[in-house]
Amino acid sequence: MHSDVESLLALQTEDQAIGEMEARLAALEPRLREMDVAHAAAVEALDRARRAVQAEEGAHRELQTRIAQHKLLHERNIAQLDSVRRMKEATAAMSQVEQARRILAEEEGALQGISRRLAELRGAAETHERALAELESQHRAERETIGEARAEVDGQLASRRTTRAGSAAKVDRVLLQKYDRIRTVRRDGAIFPLRGPSCGHCDTSVPMQRRNVMAARGTIEVCETCGVLMYAAT
């Protein structure tokens, strides 16, 4: 076999191996992105749950303050009731006391409702916290595995690229440029042997005279149909 053909085939073998390794690396990416998305969603859900707890805590504090104020007022009303002597004033004071008592009872009922909701919201926030922690621990393990796989392929890839550079150095420069140009558009290969009387890639037949020259001199020709490099296998 002609040495140009031999060097190009060696180069192509390296490029195919490199292509496979790059594909293996690329195949790891979707899962990493998927984990990023799932993590962001879990963080967002936890944030939302915590914001809901905070809002409810605010409402709880506000109502507690209001109840404390109303209790003071109520106590003042009762004290006033003790000090009034005349019937007319006593009736008014009494109705004031009654009204305040009713308001207080309503507010305390509302406070209980808020407390119940708050307990539920806190429970939900804790559930989201646990889910996030679980997800993170699961992702940590998975990212570690992916990281190891990636490091292994990266190592192989580096050594393969060194070998590739050595193989490329043995190829005639003009031929190498042609080969590299074809490889940028054809991932399935740049140099093919003739298959019978035809291009081994696209099956277009090659004139006999041209084939004879290729066989006799070991020349490399470009297929006019698909653009790959062709050689006559001996």
Q: Which is nearer to Zn ion, 26 or 185 (CB)?
A: 185
Q: How far is the CB of 230 from Zn ion (least distance, A)?
A: 7
Which residues of the chain form contacts with Zn ion (CB under 5 A)?
199, 201-202, 223, 225-226
Nearer to Zn ion by C-beta: 153 or 199? 199
At its nearest, how many Å lie between Zn ion and the CB of residue 225?
Answer: 5
CA distance 219 to 5: 8
**Which of 223, 227, 216, 224 shows the shortest CA–CA distance to 194?**
223
Question: Whole-number minimum distance, CB 188 to Zn ion, in Å?
Answer: 12
Closer by beta carbon to Zn ion, 191 or else 223: 223
Least distance CB 173 / Zn ion (angstroms): 24
φ, ψ of residue 61 to 5 degrees: the values are -60, -45
Q: Which is nearer to Zn ion, 7 or 192 (CB)?
A: 192
78, 84 Cβ separation under 8 angstroms: no
| Encoded tokens for 134 | 């679980």
6, 222 contact by CB (below 8 A): no
200 and 12 in contact (C-beta within 8 Å)?
no
